[in-house]
Copies of this chain bind each other. A is one copy, B any other.
C-alpha cells in the first residue's frame, strides 16, 4: 500500500460504483481506469453549470460533494439533490438542455470525464442503472418533502445518503463524511436551519444520529429505518 494510495482511497469512485451497478468486463474497467487517471479539480463554492450555460459532456465526481440547486427570486434556495462520488452529471442520454438549475461544488472536487458506452453492454447498463437510481432519488426527495415531518425527513435523508456513500465505499461502518452545513440540509429538506438544528438534536437525544464536526454516524440504522419505513433502493439495483 503506497502512501498516495492511502491518501486517496476513493479516486476510483466511478469504476467502483459502476462495477456494483452492472457486470463489467476487464475492458470496461480499463476504460474507466483510464478516464479516472485523467482528473481535474474544482474548488469549493464554484458553480459547475450555470443557468443557460453551455452544457458540457458527462463528467463523474470522484471525490467531494456537490449539489444541484435552484435559486428563487426572493433569494430562497432549493437543493434538488446532492452529487456524491461516483455520480455522473451531464445530459442523461438526452442532449436537450433546459436546466434552470445550477451545480455547486460544496467541497473541493476531483472529477473526470466519463468514457463513452459505445459497444459495451456493461457500461451502457451501468449508466442506465445510475440514471434510474437518480430518478429514484428525485422521487424520494419529493416524497420526503411532501409527506414527511422534519424528524422523518432528516432520518430518511441520512439513511439514503449513507447508502449512497456506502455504495462507493465511503462509509466506515455506520459512520460517514458529512461536509455540509445545517443550512444546506435545510435548503434540501424544505426546512429552516433553526428547525434542522432542533430536529437533529432530537434525533441525537433518541440515540439515532450522531453528528459531530464533519462526520455523521447512525448507531441504530435498524430502528431509524423502521421509524420512517425506509426502503433502500440498492436491493433492486446492485448486481
- A residues bordering B, Cβ < 8 Å? 70, 72-74, 76-78, 80, 92-101, 125, 127-129, 131-133, 135-136, 138-139, 141-143, 145-147, 188-190, 229, 231, 233, 236-237
Instruction: State which of B80, B132, B138, B189 has its C-beta within 8 Å of the C-beta of A97.
Output: B132
Across the interface, do A143 and B236 meet the contact criterion of CB distance under 8 Å?
A: no
Q: List chain B residues, Cβ under 8 A from A80.
A: 139, 142-143
Closest B residue to A76 using CB positions? B147
CB distance from A114 to the nearest CB of B (A): 15
Beta-carbon contact of B136 and A78 below 8 Å: no
State which of B101, B141, B231 has its C-beta within 8 Å of the C-beta of A100. Answer: B231
Interface centre among A78, A138, A143, A231 (most CB of B within 10 A): A143
Q: What are the residues of chain B within 8 A of A236 when measuring CB–CB?
A: 97-98
Closest to A229 in B: B73
